[in-house]
Copies of this chain bind each other. A is one copy, B any other.
């Protein structure tokens, strides 16, 4: 960045690594110093020789240079750069979960910060369409033919990203009756397959939610307490309504009451849950759903404040990915119209169909809003007894302390 003085100071005095033996030290130090003196300069550090020479206009190769193709290339490259960053953050978060480090709650800061960073990047990517939209359909038409058969469907990183978050293969909208992986060959195709098989962020969050303290049947037993409270509450409401004089209003209230009872009955019906999961309408396990609702209701308890933020950020990612898809659709509409040809389903129609709750990985976190209840129905916690919400778990320092680098 221009004039950025961050890294121009010599900081030879500091070394992040604990000192090695005396002898090693002098040598390595001398080496570092020399390297530092010659040092690395900005352009080499950022490998600008690669970054800034990667804009080759197909139209120019075909001897018909079209100005706006440059913007088209740079915009897509910027998208791919940021996709790489998102994948980097996602992988590091997944590693923390997979390795079990998440059990040490000190690592929640990292998880939370990095997921929040992904949110901020997606926010930028949504805004970034405004730049490409300075190109009109007519400008695009001038070089569109030269790009064939390249296609955004071939963006490996975007597919990896979807897979790693947890877009399930069987809920994807097919395009021209082809499986999405058919657009990729060899190593890329294998890479995609392996991300389908690795634990997704959804799966890892699910496992973590299943361990939410307070769910233990022989402990606080949140789920059973909640069920009791809700039906007690509903019964009290019902009695009150029954005491009302007959009226249209009374009837309406009673009808509403019946609906509410059905709604909550469904919440505590594990079979129905499994049925919804099989249809793809729910994604989390029954236990994980309970954990999420527990975190929702007790979000102010010290131990749940950061987990609650995490759940919120996961919804942010879903929302922003879907906004990204929608902004993409809008731009495509402008660039090629709604029909690419006279018949058949168009690219526009395909993209439009992906702006769907089917692609919302954490859809359950949204839909839990249906099951909120008044605060006085939520089972009461006694801080003196239920201390688990005031005491964090952490591993001993020998286990955790070395984990700075990721």
Contacts and interface: CB of A to CB of B under 8 A. Distances in A.
A39 to B, nearest CB: 4
Interface in A349-406: 350-351, 354-355, 357, 363, 366-376, 380-384, 390-397, 404-406
Interface stretch (A189-197, A204-212, A213-221, A294-302): A294-302
B11 A155 contact: no
Nearest to A55: B84
A252 interface: yes
A100 interface: no
A240 B51 contact: no
Interface residues of A, number: 193
A280 interface: no
A8 B151 CA distance: 5
Interface in A252-272: 252-253, 256-257, 259-260, 262-263, 266
Given A9-B347, A40-B148, 12 more contacts: A5-B151, A6-B140, A6-B336, A8-B347, A12-B145, A15-B145, A47-B77, A138-B372, A142-B404, A333-B366, A338-B366, A390-B393
B392 A4 contact: no
A26 interface: yes
Contact of A45 (B150, B328, B343): B150
Nearest to A34: B249
A128 interface: yes
Contacts of A107: 300
B134 A130 contact: no
A59 B11 CA distance: 14
Interface string A74-94: 101111111011001000100
A243 interface: yes
Choose among A46, A244, A375 the residue with the greatest number of B CB atoms under 10 Å from its CB: A46
SS class of chain A's interface: helix, strand, loop or mixed?
A: helix
A179 to B, nearest CB: 14
A150 B42 contact: yes
A107 B305 CA distance: 10
A224 interface: no
Nearest to A5: B347
Contacts of A333: 357, 366
A98 interface: no
Choose among A56, A138, A150 the residue with the greatest number of B CB atoms under 10 Å from its CB: A150
B381 A4 contact: no
Given A81-B51, A149-B36, A142 B397 contact: no
A116 B134 contact: yes
Contacts of A249: 33, 37
A394 B302 CA distance: 9
A54 B236 CA distance: 37
A383 B58 CA distance: 32
Contacts of A26: 240, 243-244
25 contacts: A2-B155, A3-B158, A3-B350, A6-B152, A7-B150, A8-B149, A9-B347, A10-B252, A16-B375, A29-B240, A30-B244, A40-B148, A51-B51, A67-B406, A105-B302, A108-B305, A109-B308, A138-B296, A266-B342, A303-B392, A334-B366, A335-B369, A338-B367, A382-B397, A392-B392
